[in-house]
A and B are shown apart, each in its own frame.
Chain A
Amino acid sequence: DVKVTQSSRYLVKRTGEKVFLECVQDMDHENMFWYRQDPGLGLRLIYFSYDVKMKEKGDIPEGYSVSREKKERFSLILESASTNQTSMYLCASSSGAGNQPQHFGDGTRLSIL
């Protein structure tokens, strides 16, 4: 089974801090994704990566950046955390073909105080 591991289940940070969310997958998948999930809005794509050192903006990239130095690891960075970034963050990975499902981690519930 594919395993996508997010480093923290719960995280509390302060406004203005730089926040790192880490994600690791063990299936040698080319694609990796970061979403945020908010009630009533479903999942919204922040950034995705289709190869090492490659990244593409999703629908809501403002205030975020990403890093993919190794194929198995995809990091989401909140440059200067703000209270409106309080949310559930989900990482996913998939193989290269568009008809393959994405596999999700259990999420990080991030609170910005």
Chain B
Amino acid sequence: AQSVAQPEDQVNVAEGNPLTVKCTYSVSGNPYLFWYVQYPNRGLQFLLKYITGDNLVKGSYGFEAEFNKSQTSFHLKKPSALVSDSALYFCAVSPTLFGGYNKLIFGAGTRLAVHP
């Protein structure tokens, strides 16, 4: 079965330190990869995506993500965390063999807590 794993329920980091939120996937073919962020009582906001090309992609709010095909991973990173980055982060995968309907498979989410 196709799936997305976010192995950490919560990540704690001090403000100013680098952060990493992990994501691995088990999907056939060459999927499209996405990261979304959710603030309290809000919907999901798109952060960045990997389609093809350079393995390091940059997105909104200073976030970036590194694609590793051999490890089937797509980890979210930021060089210097802010307290305002505290939120729920979702990794999502769009299998390219799905007939082009842009369906997404989501991970369970990782709560990021940035402490002052």
Q: Which residues of A contact B (CB under 8 A)?
A: 4, 9, 31, 33, 40-45, 48, 50, 56, 58, 90, 92, 94-107
Segment of B12-20, B36-44, B63-71, B76-84 engaged in the interface with chain A: B36-44
Ordered by A's residue number, 5 sampled pairs between the chains whose C-beta atoms are within 8 Å are: A40-B108, A42-B106, A45-B104, A100-B102, A102-B102
Could you tell me if B43 and A97 are in contact, using CB atoms closer than 8 angstroms? no
Q: Which residues of B contact A (CB under 8 A)?
A: 4, 9, 32, 34, 36, 41-46, 49, 51, 90, 94, 96, 98, 100-104, 106-109
CB-CB nearest 8 A-B residue pairs: A104-B43, A101-B46, A42-B108, A42-B106, A43-B106, A104-B44, A106-B43, A99-B51
Given A106-B41, A106-B42, A106-B43: A98 and B32 interface contact (C-beta under 8 Å) = yes
Could you tell me if B49 and A41 are in contact, using CB atoms closer than 8 angstroms? no
Q: Chain B residues near A102 (CB, 8 Å)?
A: 44, 46, 102, 104
Chain A nearest CB from B110 CB (Å) reads 10
Could you tell me if B101 and A99 are in contact, using CB atoms closer than 8 angstroms? no
Could you tell me if B106 and A98 are in contact, using CB atoms closer than 8 angstroms? no
Given A101-B34, A103-B46, A106-B42: A42 and B102 interface contact (C-beta under 8 Å) = no
Given A42-B90, A99-B49, A101-B49: A48 and B103 interface contact (C-beta under 8 Å) = yes
Q: Chain B residues near A31 (CB, 8 Å)?
A: 101-102
Given A106-B42, A107-B43: A42 and B100 interface contact (C-beta under 8 Å) = no
Given A90-B43, A106-B42, A107-B43: A98 and B102 interface contact (C-beta under 8 Å) = yes
Q: Chain A residues near B107 (CB, 8 Å)?
A: 42
Assembled-state Cα–Cα distance A97/B107 (Å): 22
Chain A nearest CB from B91 CB (Å) reads 9
Q: Chain B residues near A104 (CB, 8 Å)?
A: 36, 43-45
